[in-house]
Amino acid sequence: MISSVQGEHGSMLSNGSIHCSNGTEEKLDELRRLLGKSDGDLLKIVSIGAGAWGSVFAALLQDAYGQFREKIQIRIWRRPGRSVDRSTAEHLFEVINSREDVLRRLIRRCAYLKYVEGRLGDRTLYADEILRDGFCLNMIDTPLCPLKVVTNLQEAVWDADIVINGLPSTETREVFEEISRYWKERITVPIIISLAKGIEAALDPMPRIVTPTQMIQCAAGVPIENILYLGGPNIASEIYNKEYANARICGAEKWRKPLAKFLRQPHFIVWDNSDLVTHEVMGGLKNVYAIGAGMVASLTNESATSKSVYFAHCTSEMIFITHLLAEEPEKLAGPLLADTYVTLLKGRNAWYGQMLAKGELSPDMGDSIKGKGMIQGVSAVGAFYELLSQTSLSVLHPDEKKPVAPVELCPILKMLYRILIKREVSVLAILQALRDETMNDPRERIEIAQTHAFYRPSLLSQP
């Protein structure tokens, strides 16, 4: 089923902000021409997955281009049947009543009463239902514009021109394998923009990282030239509230440059880059160390000194790993550190680490958390550990002067693996990893990476 979006053609957007139309229609027309769209033929964009970033991304497009109904259709798919519990419904009601623009919008759409009934427990609300009204279950405090929601996957994707992958990396392969069945009769090849930040490790026939874009290519049979990755140092709710942000779209030049122009907004600047897989991997790597940062912050009562010690060690490990993965790792330093910084400040992975340290969550509860969605850093810890523990990738240990697996020079990664994956030590053990008097100066780890022929192109399935 598809819901409709009500709205006027005026300049006031549903979230209360003022829409600037200068050049917007021209950008839309330019992309339509590139895709061979004739008059009356809609440019169809669908976002798959309705987590915080996927929902915000769809809402940004709806706010920017939704007024041009004769030229573009923007929809979002999510699975049906997910109910909203009573406490979340009560909180949602408080958010609605704190925003006059949202309150008026719901009253005008005759939708307010169901939220009253949801708060009272007289009605069960559903995630796809509230998304139609502009509320993401993983981001209740940030009302979005109303969205056209599709709960049938085949209906959502079968004729889509551009598909946004807003799924967690752990669900990407399965969903796109299903999508591939609906695309068997397609004549044109769709464009896919992946927002997923997570990785898998494949060990056979050789150790390598598998990224969401590679999963999509394999599962759906779409050429890699038509698959792009978009990422950057950003927090979804802040972007929708018009905080200035940067992002980078990576992939083949044919599509990345026109899409960067199409996606760019005054508060959301999109650059482009050809290095698809490496940027994608870096987006997953920072989530690993963000979880540890949250643990340290909570366990030390937000000690600036302890957090800085952790930052020194975790960034040295990230630089070390980057030298294994990238031929020119220095080009990634800025984007990687920026993305790491924002995740440490306000990301869900750092939050998850804090909740573990406070005892409000435990690893046994899994990595899909109510109100937050999938904590991608957990699976990434397992993937990076498995990959870097392979003896075929051995490097020379600086003290023992013998070959060791790369993970042996990454004590924080090792400890996170023991805490989150093996679950053989408590969260307190992360402090032990920092306070080990035998730990090498983090500068030495960077020097090791910089002075050896570390680069292993096979890790990213490069020739």
| More confident site: 25 or 454 | 25
**Under CATH, to which class is 277-460 assigned?**
mainly alpha
Rg (C-alpha) for the chain, rounded Å, is 23
> First vs last Cα of the chain: how many Å apart?
45
The helix or strand, by DSSP H or E, that contains position 77, with its residue range, turns out to be strand 72-77
Which residue type sits at 85? Answer: D
Local structure of residue 41 (DSSP, 8 states): -
Report d(CA 13, CA 7) in Å as an integer: 9
- pTM exceeds cut of 0.75: yes
Q: Which superfamily is assigned to 21-81+148-201+209-274 in CATH?
A: NAD(P)-binding Rossmann-like Domain (3.40.50.720)
Average pLDDT over residues 105-128: 96
Look at residue 192 in the predicted model and tell me its pLDDT.
98
Nearest CA-CA partner of 146 in 201, 243, 41, 66: 66
pLDDT of 269 above 90 = yes
pLDDT tens per residue, range 71-114: 999 999 999 999 999 999 999 999 999 999 999 999 999 999 99
Look at residue 17 in the predicted model and tell me its pLDDT.
42
The answer to whether the beta carbons of residues 260 and 289 sit under 8 Å apart is no
Look at residue 412 in the predicted model and tell me its pLDDT.
95
The answer to whether the beta carbons of residues 254 and 224 sit under 8 Å apart is no
Q: Which residues of 358-371 are buried (b: 16+ CB within 10 A; e: fewer)?
A: eeebebeeebebee
Catalytic residues: 286
Q: Which residues of 156-171 are buried (b: 16+ CB within 10 A; e: fewer)?
A: bbbebbbbbbbbbbbb
Nearest CA-CA partner of 76 in 107, 54, 94: 54
Average pLDDT over residues 126-135: 97
- And the tokens for 374? 């999938």
Q: Is 412 helix (H, G, I), strand (E, B) or coil?
A: helix
Report d(CA 194, CA 171) in Å as an integer: 13
Identify the sign of the CA torsion 353, 359, 361, 365: positive
The answer to whether the beta carbons of residues 137 and 84 sit under 8 Å apart is yes
Phi-psi region of 40 (alpha: psi -120 to 50; beta: other; left: phi over 0): left
Which residue type sits at 338? Answer: A
Give the relative orientation of helices 253-263 and 24-34 as an angle to the nearest 10 degrees: 160
pLDDT tens per residue, range 152-199: 999 999 999 999 999 999 999 999 999 999 999 898 999 999 999 888
Domain-wise residue ranges, the chain: 21-81+148-201+209-274, 86-125, 277-460
| More confident site: 105 or 373 | 105
pLDDT of 16 above 70 = no
Average pLDDT, the chain: 90
Local structure of residue 1 (DSSP, 8 states): -
Look at residue 293 in the predicted model and tell me its pLDDT.
95
Half-sphere CA count of 82, side-chain side, radius 13 A: 19
Report d(CA 380, CA 374) in Å as an integer: 12
Average pLDDT over residues 356-376: 92
- And the tokens for 173? 């392969």
Report d(CA 433, CA 407) in Å as an integer: 14
Nearest CA-CA partner of 348 in 423, 287, 302, 427: 287
